[in-house]
Chains A and B, each alone.
With several copies, the nearest count.
Chain A
Amino acid sequence: MTTVAVKPATMAQALTRALRDALAADPDVHVLGEDVGTLGGVFRITDGLAKEFGDHRCTDTPLAEAGILGTAVGMAMYGLRPVVEMQFDAFAYPAFEQLVSHVCRMRNRTRGTMPLPITIRVPYGGGIGGVEHHSDSSEAYYMATPGLHVVTPATVADAYGLLRQAIASDDPVVFLEPKRLYWSKDAWNPDDPPAVEPIGRAVVRRSGRSATLITYGPSLPVCLEAAEAAREEGWDLEVVDLRSLVPFDDETVCASVRRTGRAVVVHESGGFGGPGGEIAARVTERCFHYLEAPVLRVAGFDVPYPPPMLERYHLPGVDRILDAVGRLQWEAER
């Protein structure tokens, strides 16, 4: 038995490793997208894959997102497991019809005879100083589309584990990669990745008694920071990382909220019609009598994603989260 040193790795590296391991493990896995081959993708997530596995396993496509996803559907019909890269969140929109009219329906349409094991990787969210169309959070669209799984990692280990799960899944998975966490680092040993948990499980990232912050993806580090800062105010916050928006882990989330009696949902995506509405509603349905205050939401404003120089005013930050926690009717404290 050799002991391997655990070195810090970035989320980007973990994602690359997941793709590489998936390509190696299953000849039916094929990566395709714009610039994923020679260049290794604009975020370099597919770096080296074309070289290692050949152009036919990691393919530069023509520049057409509906075409990419549409041909992936055909490939999946024939038994392959395409992993599609959308270059940025907003550039997945041209593929919307293929996603909503086919990808999510084919299994149901064909009574299970034609499942589509497609993974759609979408770098999403802001905070990277991207100009217009490079910082959208589109998860609300995907959540409202039955037949898809919607998954998003917030840690290096989850990036690897969830992507492997997504590719292994017999259902289509929209795999949302938080752009601004691509370069986040964590102790992680690529040669001995932790056991892969199934899609659909939330996790408590920080235990606390006062209130629960419910979050995912790019907002997890912000929430953890807020939880630290909250100690000064005397609040001991619990932080739940959803990891999977569909399926939704009611159990873990509700167990936490029942313990704390208060909750704030935090995400970058716009508030109105965003994921937080669903989350707050379902938590309230299930935990009504445990709640000391309404479940509040801290979200991006309901505006087009702002230009880079203004994005810090748009993104939920520590202060805005703490303000919301402060509005959780502490006077009602038992």
Chain B
Amino acid sequence: MTVMEQRGAYRPSPPPAWQPRTDPTPLLPDTTPYRVLGTEAAAKADPALLRRLYAELVRGRRYNAQATALTKQGRLAVYPSSTGQEACEVAAALVLQEQDWLFPSYRDTLAAVARGVDPVQALTLLRGDWHTGYDPHAHRVAPLCTPLATQLPHAVGLAHAARLKGDDVVALALVGDGGTSEGDFHEALNFAAVWQAPVVFLVQNNGFAISVPLAKQTAAPSLAHKAVGYGMPGRLVDGNDAAAVHEVLADAVARARAGGGPTLVEAITYRLDAHTNADDATRYREDAEVETWREHDPILLLERELTARGLIDEDGIRAARDDAEAFAADLRTRMNQDPHLDPMDLFAHVYAEPTPQLREQQALLRAELEAEAELAAEPEGGAR
């Protein structure tokens, strides 16, 4: 029987009621990036936090400069600098509690360092002696992730798992403006919202994905507007205002911790350096643009606020710089030592137990290395 045959029985009841699944209004981001420094909101900021942020920004900037210098000396294979983005990096690290997890991308070694990872270990991937230099469990920092946006579902899964276990854990995941175009971004945010996972997504919108400007990346009013499509709140923040980033992230983390689900935060910032030391930024942007952003430098913004409010003086500034110099000197010294390399590590930890196939290959390499060593040990020109 087709529906048409039912005509007689048709009761003109109202159509099934449609309800928005969530009220969209509160999900929409502010119309301008949230700012604290230089605004009235600054008065409410915790002075100790502002000082702490300042010290970390100064150290972070020095860290970036040092790491870039290390590439010139051939001590790093490559370095994607976060110069100009330190406010995001540092706030992301500071906003988390000890049991929380950070999910950094390749650009976020500073965030890992600010969370406590030894900078030499944080730089291992980029030095090239191993893929990850630290035990992720030690500071609850996931490995630096290179395939764009693929770390986002990991953060969601981890946060979800912690919640299933009844643990008080929030995951904070970092991604770039370019990374938001990847399918994994979409899938991660959707899973997070459906599962109400305790996770915070921080997009560092630095205006470029390598050479591709935001205008070629998205036509959205803002990246934060994407949040509404997942049913989570979107927040827009001045990414060079460390106090503002910290506050917005702290709200989002608290919300997640309280069971309120995920938040998408877009921080408007700028990468002052090239994409990496191997990149030539003059090919795709004007110096004038870079200069504009130098005037909105995260360190200067905070320094001005601290100075204006008498929270720091020349001594305090000098102390922060000295600390940063000492930090850089230590890093330099340690990075100038050759890392220990063991070719047999190729086969380590591919599986819990090497397969028979890998054992054969292991033996092959071992024999090669022994032959090489023997040859090297032989006195010039002949037999021992």
Contact = CB atoms under 8 A, between A and B. Distances in A.
Interface stretch (B46-54, B127-135, B247-255, B320-328): B127-135
Nearest to A130: B77
B158 A74 contact: yes
B84 interface: no
Nearest to A42: B210
A304 B178 CA distance: 26
A320 B343 CA distance: 15
Interface string A142-186: 000011010000000000000000000111000000000000000
A63 B346 contact: no
Nearest to A62: B181
A131 B179 CA distance: 19
Contacts of B369: 313
A101 to B, nearest CB: 5
B160 interface: yes
B350 interface: yes
Contacts of A133: 146-147
B171 to A, nearest CB: 8
Interface size class of B (residues with CB under 8 A): 35 or more
User: Which of A61, A64, A114, A313 is the most central at the interface, judged by chain B CB atoms within 10 Å of its CB?
Assistant: A64
B351 A171 contact: yes
A106 B143 CA distance: 9
Given A112-B349, A131-B77, A64 B211 contact: no
Interface string B122-159: 00011111111001110000110011101011111111
Interface residues of A, number: 83
Interface majority SS (helix, strand, loop, mixed), chain A: loop
Given A71-B160, A303-B350, A40 B283 contact: yes
A70 B352 CA distance: 21
Given A306-B346, A307-B131, A70 B212 contact: no
Interface of B: 77-78, 125-132, 135-137, 142-143, 146-148, 150, 152-162, 164-165, 169, 171, 178-179, 181-184, 186-188, 190-191, 194, 209-212, 216-218, 283-284, 339, 341, 343, 345-352, 355-358, 361, 365, 368-369
Which 5 pairs of residues, A with B, have the shortest CB-CB distance? Answer: A74-B157, A70-B153, A67-B187, A71-B157, A308-B128
Given A35-B211, A75-B161, A106-B143, 13 more contacts: A62-B190, A62-B218, A63-B178, A63-B209, A69-B153, A70-B184, A71-B188, A74-B171, A75-B157, A110-B143, A111-B348, A131-B77, A250-B357
